[in-house]
């Protein structure tokens, strides 16, 4: 079976793009009760229209709304499900021992002597309300591009395990709500299926899960912490396998619904990352067992290791190589990036016993992550971001002339 194409396109980006200062400030004002939500919507729509025009100017086909309607990359999918509660809003607080202290993102927060700013747990049985929190984003994007291009619109989606991995064993739900992870996973999967069904019926054909958690299983520090945690009732390998099965239950979909997953290593304030480690530990199982068409992988620094794991890529899958950093303004050398794409293709070629030219058919190029996973964005400016996007497009045009 050949790899599905268009999407993914030869030049891709991960989803989030720098937000205007006035939009960020207005959203904080609304959160503080100093402005109304009615004041926010016109700013959001104007900002999204502008950022779509920038993507089109730079030659990107899979446009997103830049996540300008969100405060953080994961949106509000879980927060809007029945049974899920933002317990950090409770008067009197909550038990902070629920966190998995060695989870890379939690560890970074704790180092700053703080805690994750959204703490959402299952306090009742999880069920979709029938109203999609992502649908308004897609519907507005449809007004900004021709109908013939609706199928290319890319919507970034919440990781199914986002509010599971960061908590200790059986702590993603209050006592008595679920008896096991299996029960919790089943209800989350049903809700996720409902969300995808609503989006599909509205015309969405291009989804991308933004997922830091699977990449954490590449981290020596995380794995060391996992092994030392006496509360864990399964090994890290067993948990990783359970997540793949869980994700597959979540993303069952029609054959014309392209689904990709971005393995994120963290993209926080100050352009910081959360985790390191090569994909070698997880690549073979992830490539073969996870039911997605495309993997968006971070390859902008040595912290992600080499391209050797791409030898495990099946012929039915794609990889988008995140060789251009979205964290800092310094522009990469185009020829060096082109050579890196060829080097990656050679490992795919070796693994499958095919030519470099055939291997390149399964590859694309992108920045390694979004430019603004959190409200304020990374430490670079709008012009820097535009140059990065133009560079990605230029690399794609050189490697795949006529296809970008």
- Strand positions, DSSP E, 148-211: 155-158, 206-211
What is the rounded CA–CA span in Å between residue 247 and residue 160? 6
pLDDT higher than 90, residue 12 = yes
* Vertex 97 angle, CA 95 and 103, to 5°: 130
Please identify which residue in the block is written with the tokens 């900004």. 144
For β-strands 155-158 and 318-324, DSSP reports them as unpaired
Q: What angle do CA 44, 57, 402 make, to 5 degrees?
A: 135
Please check whether the domain covering 21-399 is classified as CATH 3.40.50.300.
no
Q: Taking residues 75-89, report their average pLDDT.
A: 92
pLDDT digits (tens, 9 = 90+) for 201-227: 999 999 999 999 999 999 999 999 999
Mean pLDDT of the 85-92 span: 80
Check residue 261 and give its pLDDT.
98
> What confidence tier does 1 reach under pLDDT thresholds 50, 70, 90?
very low
Averaged pLDDT, 86-105: 82
What is the dihedral sign for C-alpha 156, 159, 160, 163? negative
Query: CA of 282: how far to CAs of 218, 241, 286, 289, in Å?
Result: 7, 10, 6, 11
pLDDT, tens digit, 9 for 90 and up, residues 184-195: 999 999 999 999
Which residues are CB-contacts of 245 (< 8 A; sequence separation ≥ 6)?
none
R_g of the chain computed on alpha carbons: 20
Domains of the chain: which residue ranges? Answer: 21-399
Average pLDDT, the chain: 92
Instruction: Flag the least confident range among 168-182, 247-261, 280-294, 367-381.
Output: 367-381
Residue 271 has pLDDT above 80, yes or no: no
DSSP code of residue 99: B
Length in residues, the chain: 404
User: Between vectors from CA 224 to CA 219 and to CA 227, what angle results, nearest 5°?
Assistant: 125
The pTM for the full model equals 0.95
| Whether the predicted pLDDT of 356 surpasses 60 | yes
* pLDDT beyond 60 at 270: no
Smallest Cα–Cα separation from 159: which of 203, 114, 120, 112? Answer: 120
pLDDT of the residue at 117: 64
């Amino acid at each position: 079976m050949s790899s599905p194409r268009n999407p993914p396109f030869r030049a891709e980006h991960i989803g989030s793009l720098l937000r205007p200062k006035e939009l960020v400030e207005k959203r904080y004002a609304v959160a503080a009760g100093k402005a109304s939500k009615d004041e926010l919507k016109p700013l959001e729509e104007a900002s999204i229209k502008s950022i779509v025009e920038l993507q089109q100017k730079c030659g990107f086909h899979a446009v997103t709304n830049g996540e300008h309607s969100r405060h953080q990359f994961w949106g509000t999918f879980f927060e809007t499900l029945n049974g899920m509660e933002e317990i950090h809003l409770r008067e009197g607080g909550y038990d902070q021992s629920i966190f998995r202290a060695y989870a890379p993102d939690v560890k970074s927060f704790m180092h700053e002597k703080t805690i994750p700013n959204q703490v959402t747990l299952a306090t009742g049985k999880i069920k979709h309300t029938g109203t999609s929190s992502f649908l308004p984003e897609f519907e507005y994007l449809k007004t900004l591009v021709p109908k013939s291009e609706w199928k290319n619109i890319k919507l970034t989606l919440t990781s199914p395990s986002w509010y599971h991995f960061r908590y200790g064993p059986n702590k993603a739900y209050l006592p008595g709500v679920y008896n096991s992870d299996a029960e919790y996973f089943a209800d989350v999967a049903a809700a996720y299926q409902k969300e995808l069904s609503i989006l599909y019926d509205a015309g969405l054909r291009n989804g991308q899960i933004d997922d830091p958690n699977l990449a954490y299983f590449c981290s020596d520090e995380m794995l060391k912490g996992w092994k030392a945690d006496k509360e864990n009732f399964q090994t890290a390998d067993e948990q990783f396998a359970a997540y793949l099965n869980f994700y597959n239950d979540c993303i069952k979909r029609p054959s014309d619904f392209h689904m990709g997953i971005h393995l994120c290593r963290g993209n926080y304030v100050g352009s910081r990352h959360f985790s390191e480690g090569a994909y070698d530990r997880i690549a073979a199982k992830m490539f073969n067992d996870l039911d997605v068409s495309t993997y968006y992988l971070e390859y902008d620094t040595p912290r992600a290791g080499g391209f050797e794991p791409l030898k495990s890529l099946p012929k039915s899958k794609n990889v988008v190589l995140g060789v251009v950093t979205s964290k800092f303004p310094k522009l990469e050398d185009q020829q060096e990036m082109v050579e890196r794409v060829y080097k990656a293709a050679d490992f795919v070629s070796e693994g499958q016993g095919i030519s470099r030219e055939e291997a390149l058919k399964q590859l694309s190029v992108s920045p390694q992550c979004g430019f603004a996973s959190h409200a304020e964005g990374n430490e670079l400016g709008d012009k820097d971001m535009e140059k990065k996007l133009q560079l990605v497009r230029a690399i794609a045009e050189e490697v795949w002339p006529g296809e970008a």
